Chain A
Amino acid sequence: MRESIRDAEHLFRLVLLFAAGLLLFLLVRALLVPVGFGELGHFRSGAIDDNRGRPLRYAGRAACAECHDDAASELAAGRHARIGCESCHGPLAAHAADPDAAAAMLPEATPLCVRCHEANLARPAGHPQVEPREHADGSACADCHRPHLPAV
């Protein structure tokens, strides 16, 4: 019996050592594991909000139509109806947020037309394509076609 008490002293030290180790582990863990880690899975849940927090560059066609309903309804009537405003006019979220602070630009038409309508073997056969040099004879596309209502 006496000998077991002597053993208990050794055990007590051992337990103390383990307790100190556990404390150190918990301390280091609290310092290293970020807030929100493990809430939704094996990741920091705040990262979702970080990804959400980016500013917009493209406002979306609905925002354009809020003010430019004339252009939007013209576009909707023709074969370019499915094309978003910013496909040609570029990213305009800043302009949509404050029209005075950021002016919209008028793009140069011909390079944009050619980008989609120059003949290319890889393009779907049903897509309207031309050889610009033969088709236009040097004149600009906008001389004959209006980008919003492209039919001649």
Chain B
Amino acid sequence: MTVDRRRFLADATKYLLLTGAAAEAWPFVAEGRPAAAPGYDMARHWWAMFIDIEACIGCGLCVDACKRENDVPPEAHFSRTWVERYYIAPRDVAHPEAEDRPVVDSPDGGRHGFPEIHRAGAGAKSFFVPKLCNHCAHSPCVQVCPVGATFESPDGVVLVDKDWCLGCRYCVQACPYGCRYIDPRTNTVDKCTLCYHRITRGLTTACCEVCPTEARRLGDLKNPDDPIHELLRAHKVQVLKPNMATGAKVYYAGLDASVR
């Protein structure tokens, strides 16, 4: 086989950006026959996500990409992922004991970005928080499902069995993070699958693929070479609502205490 410059660059890029296995699988994915790709072993993965709040610029590309990739209804209240903007007014020095009362908004889930509404003032604090299913290891939504239609997969992703879901909405109420909605087309529950169809083919999630600042990164905690280990080591990280002991696997760096 002759290797010309174009082919060398293409292969080099492919192997640099994808893991070895993913690069092997890519030709099958490109041909539209992903199932024929070399095997994916669920027992060898444990998926998580790392979100750097200090890096999120609130462009909303992740929200848009998620809607397109997963065919999510366009309305904001059907969102598998969304971005919130927190605004915390300057502290009232006459009442320093008062709690921070953040103003949170998420116009259209942040899908089209965030028009500036707050004027920079001395002492005000504002930041973006991308949200999605936390893919809890001990998930409340799984525990309440009366028919076993939602479950934690062996590789750590909370999935829904759309053929088996009754649409009873118990899980929608049980999720402490508000990550579930009823799909109006099927009347069954829907949620972030961590792009299960992508990550099992060696690709990253749609939201991570389009994030321009690498504020979101998919990680495999069972892979010792995954950069997520270094990210979790180098940053002080926190999960949302740790007091609920959900075993959340979306790790936030730079998370403010006001975030709920």
Partner-B contacts on A (CB < 8 A): 34, 37, 40-44, 47-48, 50-63, 65-67, 69, 72-73, 80, 82-84, 86-87, 90-91, 96-97, 115-116, 118-124, 127
Q: Are B68 and A41 in contact (CB under 8 A)?
A: no
Question: How far apart sit A60 and B120, CA to CA, in the bound complex (Å)?
Answer: 37
For the complex, give the distance between the alpha carbons of A56 and B68 in Å: 10
Minimum Cβ distance to chain A for residue B63 (Å): 12
Check B9 for interface membership: any CB of A closer than 8 A: yes
Known: A42-B151, A43-B161. A91 touches B213 (CB 8 A): no
Q: A51: which B residues are within 8 A, CB to CB?
A: 153, 159-160, 193, 196-197
Interface flag for B206 (CB, 8 Å): yes
Report if B144 contacts A (CB, 8 A).
no
B140 CB-CB contact with A under 8 Å? no
A43 to B13, CA, bound (A): 39
User: Are B57 and A84 in contact, with the CB atoms below 8 A?
Assistant: no
Interface size class of B (residues with CB under 8 A): 35 or more
For residue B236, give the distance in angstroms from its CB to the closest CB of chain A: 16
Q: Which residues of B line the A interface, CB within 8 A?
A: 6, 9-10, 13-14, 17-18, 23, 26, 29-32, 34-35, 42, 54-61, 65, 68-70, 85-87, 112-114, 116, 118-120, 124, 126-128, 148-154, 159-164, 193, 196-198, 200-201, 203-204, 206, 209-214
CB pairs A–B below 8 angstroms (5 shown): A53-B35, A67-B10, A87-B209, A91-B206, A115-B112
Closest to B164 in A: A44
In the complex, what residues of A have CB within 8 A of residue B87's CB?
121-122
- Asked if A69 and B9 sit within 8 Å, CB to CB, the answer is yes
- A62 touching B161 in the complex, CB below 8 Å, given contacts A120-B116, A123-B57: no
B185 to chain A, nearest CB (A): 15
Q: Are A124 and B196 in contact (CB under 8 A)?
A: no
- A87 with B212: CB separation less than 8 A: yes
In-complex Cβ contact of A34 among B6, B150, B164, B196 (8 A): B164
Cβ-defined contact, B119 with A121, below 8 A: yes
| 10 shortest interchain CB distances as A-B pairs | A47-B161, A43-B151, A54-B197, A122-B126, A65-B13, A87-B210, A69-B9, A83-B212, A62-B17, A42-B148
* A116–B210 CA distance with the chains assembled, in angstroms: 13
CA distance A40 to B161 in the complex (A): 14
On whether the beta carbons of A118 and B116 are closer than 8 Å, the reply is: yes
CA distance A72 to B16 in the complex (A): 13
Residues of A near B154 (CB, < 8 A) are: 40-41
With a cutoff of 8 Å between Cβ atoms, the chain A residues found around residue B149 in the complex are 43, 47
Contacts of A44 in B (CB 8 A): 148, 161, 163-164
Cβ B159 vs Cβ A48 within 8 A: yes
> Taking A42-B151, A43-B149, A50-B162 as contacts, is the C-beta distance between A123 and B58 under 8 angstroms?
yes
